[in-house]
Amino acid sequence: MWRDLFKMAGIQLHFNTAFHPQTDGQSEIVNKVLAMYLRCATGDRPRAWVDWLAWAEYSYNTPYHTALWATPFKVVYGRPLPALLPHTAGTAQMDTADTLLRDRDSFLADVRERLLQARQHAKHYYDVHHRELEFAVGEWVWLRLLHRPIHSLERRPKGKLGPRYAGPF
């Protein structure tokens, strides 16, 4: 049935072996990203990852993906993601709903705090290794070619032993 279904849908079926991630790269990438989200969300309580799996999925499906030109949520459901409404404590009729929404707000506050910490850490690391450069008009400079294909420059050999800088300009 599956072979016939895939054939009719125009999908070429490739069989793979379990525990060989090289045969299923896209799923492995998604699993890697979700594991990173769970690691960030659980932090000091890694055994509680099951409680945060839905939020990890939400976090993966809500940002804009440049490859899709949309959010994964919009691709799957055909509409933009509904907004999260703020919660006021004690307004729910059931205590369980109130607890779930309070946990959601707490989780989002934790995520916001961790993102601010990550930003401060990245800024500190950048500031330690950054040096401010100023050039006067008429000075000669070298142009670093790291991951920048520049077609207007003369053709030079590529690869590990190719030049890292062009110039002087």
CA 64 to chain centre: 10
Write down the domain spans for the chain: 1-83
**Cα 162 to Cα 98, 154, 158, 167, distances in angstroms:** 62, 13, 5, 14
Taking only the tens place, the pLDDT of each residue in 16-34 is 777 666 666 777 788 888 8
71-98 pLDDT tens trace: 888 988 899 888 887 777 777 788 888 8
Sequence-separated (6 or more) residues with CB below 8 Å from residue 88: none
What pLDDT is stored for residue 21 in this prediction? 61
The pLDDT tens digits of the residues spanning 98-156 come to 888 888 888 778 877 877 888 898 899 899 988 888 889 999 998 887 766 656 566 65
DSSP track, 28-45: HHHHHHHHHHHHHHHTT-
Residue 159 contacts residue 132 (beta carbons within 8 Å): no
